[in-house]
Amino acid sequence: MPLAHRTLSHGMVAFGFFNVKCDCLLLNNYFFFASDFCAWVKTWAKEGPPAEGSESIFLIENPGDIGSRAWGEQGLRHHGFMSALYERFPFPEAPGGFKQQPEGWQERAEVESILREYATVKEMAVVFDPGKESITLGEYDFDRPGFGELLDYVWRGGMPMWRDDTRPQYVLDMIEAVRHSECWPFAGM
């Protein structure tokens, strides 16, 4: 479940997983896969963050095309990406099934094909500003602690947490790189 995360630029924004059976993340209307996000962070932690760079994401510009997670959870037909995704990957029937699936990355091709019906691929600007100690992802500016909360969220597996406390290898690799990084955004994390 996406949670509210604080930004310097937009106040609170939604960030996180929104379907326990896949590894897609959202940052408001930006969509990208956790495996990609973790690979980006791992590279930034090992090689140093880019002063200015970019990463490919999916952007849903029309809010109506995002759909309704709640309607999808209830099995109701509704226009939009999340509704279509929940039609394919329904909400778990038993409360115990509401855990983030560590093998969710295996559904990427199918999730991406649904996502492409509603989103366009865009380059998200990535800016690390050591003077301001800020990290910019697209239009969203984070301070170091706010950015760290995004990493922690993915480490935990979001609100429901990882099933059996088992994380995918890409999450373990990201955290290992962050823990050993001497780059300013990751120092002390």
List, for residues 65-104, the tens digit of each pLDDT value: 988 655 544 555 567 898 889 889 887 888 777 899 999 9
Domain boundaries, the chain: 3-180
Q: How does pLDDT run across 9-18, given as a tens digit for each residue? A: 999 999 999 9
Q: Lowest mean pLDDT: which of 82-86, 91-95, 125-129, 154-158? A: 91-95
pLDDT at 171: 98
Mean of pLDDT values over 160-167:
96
Mean of pLDDT values over 104-124:
97
Q: CB under 8 Å, gap of 24 or more: what pairs does 48-51 form?
A: 48/183, 49/126, 49/128, 49/135, 49/183, 49/184, 49/185, 50/126, 50/127, 50/128, 51/127, 51/128, 51/129
Q: Which residue is it, tokens 């709640």?
A: 70
pLDDT at 50: 86
pLDDT at 72: 45
Distance CA 128, CA 185 (A): 8
pLDDT at 77: 54
98: nearest Cα among 23, 153, 162: 162
pLDDT at 70: 56
| 122, two tokens | 């865009």
Q: Average pLDDT, whole number, for the chain?
A: 91
Mean of pLDDT values over 161-177:
97
Q: The pTM is what? A: 0.92
